Chain A
Amino acid sequence: MTDNRPVVTMTGISKSFLGVRALHDVNFRLFPGEVHALMGENGAGKSTLIKVLTGVYDTDEGAITLDGQPVSFTGPMQATAAGVSTVFQEVNLCTNLSVAENIFIGREPRRLGAVRWGEVRRRARTLLARLDLDLDVSAPLGSYSLAIQQMVAIARAIDIQARVLILDEPTSSLDAVEVAQLFRIMRQLRDEGIAILFVTHFLDQVYEIADRITVLRNGGLVGEYATAELPQLSLVEKMIGKELDVLEGIEERSRRNLAVLEEGTPLVAVSDFGRAGSVEPFSLTIHAGEVVGLAGLLGSGRTEVARLLFGADRTDGGQVAVDGTPSSLRTPAQAIGHGVGFCSENRRAEGIVADLSVRENMILAMQAARGWLRPIPRRRQDELVDKYIKALNIRPSDPEVPVRNLSGGNQQKVLLARWLITEPRLLILDEPTRGIDIGAKTEIQKLVTQLSDGGMAVLFISAELEEVLRLSHKVAVMRDRQMVAQLANDDGLDADRVMQTIASGSHREEADR
């Protein structure tokens, strides 16, 4: 969109880690006054490219120029000093320090070596005013929401006369309003002539804000395109690089008659479950063999619903009946006792135990249910583990490898196996397909269908509406931490209608308790 000279060029960049190729001969240009989206599936090399640019890694081959001058930064600090600032997905600030200090730490105005706190606060207020943010700059950052913290991170990044601003998945934890606020700031900065490199997984956002798009796949460059000339579908094709028919088969099978399933006693019926500050009270019934999709934006309370059902968080009130009998779901152990399993969205922090082997990770839940005094006999362990390594096509297939050595998709499958081994009656899957490659994704989707055919109930949570619609019999819609509707997934339901529900928050009868 601009025909002036690029502020950043990267040519022929290659980078390997211990022989594994992360980037191969990638070219990249960034012009002043543009928002440039860097797109690609997980593992495409986006973060490596950014880290090479900001000097976190050095390149094996290739050259970087800034304003036509060759540069090679030794680290983010030097890059920042040269006008290349980065804001990461996870807010990398110190919540124990004040807002003002977070903006200026490392380059505080000083007199004779002493930090001038008055000046720090004054400049912080000025800067935040430029971004239309009205914050108490002396308050600790931790007292503000994540979205605000992200804005503060941007304020920090642009303060240093940044000419290049790298935003690495800044929107993944923001709600729609916050995203709009962020985009307003991005446009403003773009109009001031700052070059913005924007990494995101949300296609809509790319089309809303980006001027140009660079697509990476498997560490290689696919191409650079003007957003206006690249239809969404071709973008997806370029990112994924293979045809989508693999998924088509699933669709046919999943749209079954909900009425048949909903006869008889529900497997789990909760009413008035909720938790202050987390999710408003909701009621939900799940029958055997039913896949219930949970749709909604990030932060709309999807994960919170799952955690309440699993007893990971405690509900403030309400009742639960399992097989029609009143029971309680107050701890994970109790929920597991009732045949509930839960794959957390946060695989690394809440899922796998990285130190332990694939085998140990798989039998963990079953062993926990039996108690430590009744170990599962080794032969039985091996049988189970072998069975699921084969069934889920887990690679490497050696059960004694520490699970940390597996790829994200395979780790996800190990987690699935952990729960399948317990033969749950209700399996809660929170974003089981996020951040894993398309092959593994398809396998997991197929598995969900098979499991429900076999009579298992599944609560399926995903940010991708298509995926939810493809798999679910019933879709519960979350909006602003409220369950606003439960829609039968019949022919009348499509992504548009779900989105409308999310947008308008219109209630249906089922949702009213």
Chain B
Amino acid sequence: MTTGSLTAGRARFRLPRRQIPVLATLVLLLVMYGIGVSQYQAFSNVQVIFNVFIDNGFLLVVAVGMTFVILTGGIDLSVGSVVAMTAMVSASLLQQGLPAALVLVIALLIGPTLGLLMGCAIHFFEIQPFIVTLAGMFFARGMCTFISGSSIPITDGFWTRMSQERIGDPRGNFVSISVLVAFVVVAVAAYTLAYTRLGRNVYAIGGNPQSALLMGLPLGRTRIAVYTISGLCSAIGGILLSFYTLSGAPLIAVGMELDVIAAVVIGGTVLTGGSGYVFGTVLGVLVLGVIQTLITFDGSLNSWWTKIVIGGLLFAFILLQRLIGIRYK
């Protein structure tokens, strides 16, 4: 029944290797930043970094949620659509004159609810996460156009204040509220993964779901929880996006799930689960942000180069993970 000696030989891999991808991402980030600084004078401005955070705050939040899902070995394709749906719902409710606080609560509830439902479908009916979240993606995107076929502007006072509020130092460098929210989400997520039972169960399930079940860990609850968390993060991301754009548009954030997955993978989380850190995801998002900034600074490069470079980086990082021998199950 066992392949005893075989697995014994194979199981001996050095785990510190698991940190190499994160370090590699860090090095890559520094190199890219170095290139930026050496090529463009304005790049050394601290505000450039802040802008990367401002422009990608919502992406970061969503990527944190995706990190949870991917750590359990699952995947959530619905995030981009849920982001758009949250923004649409907020914009539409605000347009109808609901108070901002109530709108926030409603908007923040939709994502987790959908996540919860998807998690239940995945756990109880044993349908692959890929398919379930694909259906969730269709559903959320469908809801967007169902609410309105065109973009809805947001004029609410709270939203505009959140959008325009600048928190900065005396020299004029600033970040937006979104960035602070994103940092809080990152901190909470990092704490959850490192110090709570839920977080440790996430790693255990990603490592070996069968063992986790036999060790008495709540497999189903944890699985459902990660999709709910991802839904919550998408909802927060949607709110942040609506702060950023001050509107809800039915076709916004199309294909965002790809950027998010790319950021998580570039951040060193292994797609089969069980290995990875929120900090890596932060770095992964920054890498994507810096690429975009570099391409913007260059001016001669077109936007499609972003996709090509991200594809190239994905390839490089996956190759790296293989070379240092992190096991894909």
Q: Is there a contact between chains A and B in the complex with CB atoms less than 8 Å apart?
A: yes
Chain A interface (Cβ < 8 Å from any Cβ of B): 75-77, 80, 86, 88-97, 101, 105-106, 108, 110, 113-115, 117, 139-140, 142-147, 149, 156, 169, 172-173, 277-278, 298-299, 301, 303-304, 345-346, 349-350, 435
Query: Are A106 and B5 within 8 A (Cβ)?
Result: no
**Cβ of A106 and Cβ of B217 under 8 Å apart?**
yes
B207 to chain A: which residues have CB within 8 Å? 94-97
Q: A96-B203, A173-B8 provided; 5 other pairs, C-beta below 8 A?
A: A94-B211, A105-B201, A115-B195, A145-B8, A298-B4
Q: How many residues of B contact A (CB 8 A)?
A: 35
The CA of A75 and the CA of B191, in the complex, are separated in Å by 30
Which of B11-19, B39-47, B146-154, B316-324 interfaces with chain A?
A: B11-19
Would you give the shortest CB distance from B277 to chain A, in whole angstroms? 13
User: Complex Cα distance A159/B132, Å?
Assistant: 39
A142 to B327, CA, bound (A): 11
Nearest first, the 8 closest Cβ-Cβ pairs linking A and B are A173-B4, A77-B216, A94-B207, A96-B207, A140-B15, A92-B211, A92-B214, A96-B274
Whole-angstrom distance from the CB of B18 to the nearest CB of chain A? 8
Pick from B203, B210, B216 the residue with the most CB of A within 10 Å. B216
Q: What B residues does A115 contact at CB under 8 A?
A: 194-197, 200
B200 touches A105 (CB 8 A): yes
Q: In the assembly, what is the distance between CA of A173 and CA of B203, in Å?
A: 26
- Cβ of A346 and Cβ of B3 under 8 Å apart? yes
Assuming the contacts A146-B7, A146-B8, asked whether A108 and B208 have C-beta atoms less than 8 A apart, the reply is no
Q: Is the CB of B216 within 8 A of A80?
A: yes
Contact indicator B215/A92 (Cβ below 8 Å): yes
Q: Do the beta carbons of A146 and B4 come within 8 Å of each other?
A: yes
Which interface residue of A88, A142, A301, A349 has the most chain B CB atoms within 10 A? Answer: A142
Q: Which residues of A contact B212 (CB under 8 A)?
A: 94
Q: Chain B: interface secondary structure?
A: helix
Chain B residue numbers with a CB within 8 Å of A89 are 1-2
Instruction: Among A76, A169, A299, point to the contact of B5 (Cβ < 8 A).
Output: A299
Count of inter-chain pairs, beta carbons less than 8 A: 120
**Nearest chain-B residue to A141 (Cβ)?**
B11
Instruction: Determine if B206 is an interface residue (Cβ-Cβ < 8 Å).
Output: yes
Say yes or no for B275: interface residue by CB 8 A criterion: yes
- Residues of B with C-beta under 8 A to A93: 208, 211, 215
Could you tell me the distance in whole angstroms from the C-beta of A371 to the nearest C-beta in chain B?
29
Pair B7/A156 contact, Cβ less than 8 Å: no
Among B63-107, those with CB < 8 Å from A are none
A114 & B214 in contact (Cβ 8 Å cutoff) = no
Q: Distance in Å from the Cβ of A162 to the closest Cβ of chain B?
A: 13
For A146, A147, A149, A156, the residue with the greatest tally of chain B CB atoms inside 10 Å of its CB is A146
User: Measured between C-beta atoms, what is the minimum distance from A286 to chain B in Å?
Assistant: 23
Bound complex: CA of A284 vs CA of B275, how far in Å? Answer: 43
In the complex, chain A residues whose CB is within 8 Å of the CB of B195:
113-115, 117
Q: List residues of chain A with CB within 8 A of the CB of B275.
A: 96
Is B170 an interface residue, CB under 8 A from the partner? no
Query: Which residue of the partner chain B has the closest CB to A112?
Result: B195
Q: Is the CB of B197 within 8 A of A108?
A: yes
How close is A415's CB to chain B, nearest CB, in angstroms? 15
B4 x A105 contact (CB < 8 A): no
Is there an interface contact between A303 and B5, defined as CB atoms closer than 8 Å? yes
The yes or no answer to B118 lying at the interface (CB within 8 A) is no
Q: Which residue of B is nearest A98, CB measured?
A: B15
Q: B299 in the interface, Cβ–Cβ < 8 Å? A: no
Contact partner of A106 (CB less than 8 A), chosen from B12, B191, B216, is: B216
Closest to B270 in A: A96
- Give Cα distance in the complex from A90 to B5, angstroms: 12
| A80–B213 CA distance with the chains assembled, in angstroms | 13
Chain B residue with minimal CB distance to A56?
Answer: B214
The answer, yes or no, to whether B157 is at the interface (CB within 8 Å) is no
| Cβ contacts under 8 Å, A146 to chain B | 2, 4-5, 7-8, 11
- Give the nearest-CB partner of B5 in chain A: A299
Q: Is B172's beta carbon under 8 Å from chain A?
A: no
Q: What CA separation (Å) do A278 and B4 show in the bound complex?
A: 12
- What is the CA–CA distance of A278 and B8 in the complex, to the nearest angstrom? 10
Contact of B214 among A76, A96, A304 (CB under 8 A): A76
